[in-house]
Structure formats: structure tokens, C-alpha cells
Amino acid sequence: MRHPKLIVVTPVFEDTEASTILFSELAKSCGTEIHVVAVDDGSVRQPLTLQGMLDARIRGTVIRLKRNVGHQRAIAAGLAYVADTFSDIDRVVVMDSDGEDLPETIGSLLDNLDEAEVDVVVAERKSRVETLRFKTFYLVYKWLFKLLTGRKISFGNFMAMNGTAARRLSSMGELATHVAGTVLVSRLRWRTCALDRGPRYAGKSKMNFVGLALHGFKGLMIFAEDVLVRVGIACAGVAALSLLGVSAAIVLKTLGYATPGWFSVTLGLLLLVFLQTGAITLMTLMLTGITRGSTVLPLDYRLLVDQIMATHDDSRDQ
């Protein structure tokens, strides 16, 4: 198989019209020397075919999954396929197929990737057209993510990487849970690139508010160990403060400053807080030990694949 200089991995779910436009835009922006790996995430109403790639005159592969596995797992399957199929990987771009990730901005990502000390370049949005509820949730989520993990997250799936990064990420089991979080935890050298977000080519987004919230919480799962440690420290701090409160209540009672009934109520509440936070601290310590000793296995994409179709001469069906 020939080794393209640029491989584009994109998940598609019931969105043939938008993905067809994307293939044409990729041909205009990147030329015909790219290879597109489109992962059909178990589409039933609009299963993806090779026709869109053939019309755009670009080389590519369509990977049909046996069932819908979700946006992140579909990207993980595509990257795993790339790492397994192409022995010489130059540049890989991960992007959505709906048009919100603009093909004409891929060049900006690749320009930043040319520097030797950069493995991954991620797109940080300069502007986005979203509802007030989404913007509010996103701000709260970024604040919670920073508080619980100690890391800042301001990017999504649109990114470019070199071959080393592609192979490293595809070997990490966390990739199937949250792509952006895996980049943060991978210890790869990454850089942000401010880009505008485009409008959808066609159709409506399949992501609702519940799905968006679930996606956000999955990002925290990548840093389970850090989150548990921080929660444990916070609970231990609250427990220590409750003991100080108990000591202060006893002193006030001894000096005769406590009103009738105040001491018993205060002592009972503070002891209850101490017992609860102490129990949570012990639980987080135990869970941290379990998490640290466990290893998340990488995704075996072959178990999910129903069929692989390619536009080039050595195409094969599986």
C-alpha cells in the first residue's frame, strides 16, 4: 500500500450528505494526495459508501462498524486502523465530518506541526456559535476540570499529529473514552492553534445536552487518579476543620459561653461531618490504589469492524 503524506480520520454517523461535502472540501484544500479514513459508526439509515470519495477523486477507506459505539470510540478505531495498516505515517489529522472542523484550516495545524518539539497540534476555538446553555455548561465544565484534575482543557477532537503520536495514542486504552483527555495524559508534546469553528454542512447535530454532559464526565474519567487524590485531600481538610470545630465547641462549653442545646447540636453535626468525610477519604485512598494498579488495554478495533472498503487497487472487504 502506498504511504500518503496526510491521513484524515473522521467519524460518520447517519450523515452521508455532510461527509460527502467534506470529501469534496478536503480535495480542494489538501489536494488528492491525501488518504481519508472514514469510520461509519454503525449507521443504519444512511450507511456510508465509497461514492463520496470517488466523486471527490480522493483515495480513502470506509470502515463500517458492526454497531454504534460513540464518537470517541469510532475515532479510536480509525486511529488504530491507521497505526496497524500504514507502516510509514507522516501526518494524521482527526476531524469531525459535519463541517464544523474546516478543511481549509488544516494547513494551519500542519504548519505548527512542522516544528521538531511538537507532536500534536490541537485546535482551540476562536469563535463558536452555540446556545447560551451550551456556553454556560462549557464554562462550568472547564472550571470543574481545572479544579479536579489540575489541567486546563480548551480543545476537542480537531487535531493534527505526527506518526509517533498516532502510534502512541492508538496504543492507549483511554483513547476510546475521551480523545482530548488522552492527549493531555499521553505526555506528548502538544500545542494549541486558534481556529474558527464552521457551520454544519447539512443536517442537525446528533449530540444532545445529556450526551454532551456524559462526554464531559468521560474526560474526568481519564484522570481518575488525580480526581480521587484531590477529592481525598479536600475531604481530609473538611474532616480536620470539623475536629477543630469540635474542640472550639468544647472550649466554649467549658467557659460557659454556650447557650442551652447549642453544644449538643453543634457537637453532633460536627462529629457527623467528621465521620462522613473521614469515610470518604478512606474510600478515595482505596480507589486511588486500585486505579494506580490497573492498566486500560488499547482498543481492538477488529472486534468492531463489519466491513472495510477502500478506493485503491489493493482494497479489500472484511
At 197, list the grid cell: 469553528
Least confident residue range of 126-130, 183-187, 257-261, 289-293: 289-293
Q: What is the pLDDT of residues 112-129, one digit of tens each?
A: 998 889 999 999 987 666
Tens of pLDDT, residue by residue over 273-313, are 887 787 777 776 666 655 555 566 778 889 999 999 998 64
Can you give the pLDDT at residue 148? 83
121-153 pLDDT, tens digit each: 999 987 666 667 777 877 888 888 888 888 888
Per-residue model confidence (pLDDT) at position 314: 45
Give residue 298's pLDDT: 79
Pairing status of strand 91-94 against strand 59-65:
unpaired
The stretch 189-203 carries a mean pLDDT of 87
Least confident of 45-59, 191-205, 206-220, 266-280: 206-220
pLDDT at 214: 77
Question: What pLDDT is recorded for position 285?
Answer: 65
Of the chain, the percentage scoring pLDDT greater than 90 comes to 44
Grouping H, G, I as helix, E, B as strand and the rest as coil, residue 226 is: helix
Of 42-46, 70-74, 124-128, 250-254, where does mean pLDDT reach its minimum? 124-128
CA distance 223 to 288: 11
**DSSP secondary structure string for all residues of 284-307:** HHHHHHHHHH--PPPP-GGGTEEE
Whether 40 shows a pLDDT value over 80: the answer reads yes
Residue 161 pLDDT greater than 80, yes or no? yes
C-alpha cell at 96: 469531525
| Average pLDDT of the residues in 39-48 | 93
Place 60 in a pLDDT band, splitting at 50, 70 and 90.
very high
Q: Of all residues in the chain, what percent carry a pLDDT higher than 70?
A: 88
Q: Cα–Cα–Cα angle for 184, 186, 187, nearest 5°? A: 85
CA–CA separation, 122 and 114 (whole Å)? 14
Q: What is the mean pLDDT of residues 237-241?
A: 85
Rounded (10°) angle between helices 209-222 and 224-255 = 90
